[in-house]
A = this chain, B = another copy of it.
């Protein structure tokens, strides 16, 4: 029997939204679903191993790169971030209750077979190449995303 599919668009690069996306991904993969996360726009930076755009790209791309966090460790809270104070409080609470960090949760998702796909349109816009996004398992555009989503039992835009 074919496995049920779940497909999540991760548009946001915020830590709290990404935590929600990967908690759901891990739960779905644990229940035997075939999960794909499609990283687009601000979410794309979560596939980078280091802040991108500091050393290459056009001035405009560097500006976006400087401001866009990039890497899971640099992701911010969507609210109450307060120049990092709210984020540090959240991280301290997560550590206290032994909850996995965003990086750990993404690692667990990978180990359970969740597939990470980078949006090629966003890559072109930001001047990123495949080697800039080492955490990506694949690279695709919106048509490819829609084809998969239309076969999925669970679709979310986060």
Q: Which residues of A are at the interface with B, using a C-beta cutoff of 8 A?
A: 4, 6, 9, 11, 16-17, 19-20, 23-24, 26-28, 30-31, 33, 40-42, 58, 60-61, 63-64, 67-68, 79-80, 86, 89-90, 92-94, 96-97, 99, 121, 124-126, 141-143, 145-147, 149-158
Copies assembled? 3
Interface of A is mostly: helix
Q: Are B67 and A145 in contact (CB under 8 A)?
A: no
The answer to whether A143 touches B67, judged by C-beta atoms less than 8 angstroms apart, is no
Residues in B neighbouring A79, C-beta threshold 8 A = 42
Whether the pair A150, B150 counts as a contact (CB closer than 8 A) is no
Q: Closest residue of chain B to A147, judged by CB?
A: B31
Query: Is the pair B67, A80 in contact by a Cβ cutoff of 8 Å?
Result: yes
Query: CB within 8 A of A125: which of B97, B124, B151?
Result: B97
Hey, which chain B residues are within 8 Å of A30, CB to CB?
143
With both chains docked as a complex, state the minimum distance between the C-beta of A120 and any C-beta of chain B, in angstroms: 11
Q: Pick the contact of A27: B42, B86, B145, B155 (CB < 8 A).
A: B145
Given the complex, which residues of B lie within 8 Å of A92, measured CB to CB? Answer: 60
Minimum-distance CB pairs A-B, first 7: A27-B142, A156-B157, A27-B146, A27-B143, A60-B89, A150-B153, A23-B142
Question: Can you list 23 A-B pairs, Cβ within 8 angstroms, ordered by A?
Answer: A4-B150, A6-B146, A11-B17, A16-B41, A23-B142, A24-B146, A26-B142, A27-B141, A27-B143, A27-B146, A30-B143, A31-B147, A63-B89, A64-B86, A64-B90, A67-B86, A97-B124, A99-B124, A146-B154, A149-B154, A151-B153, A155-B155, A156-B157
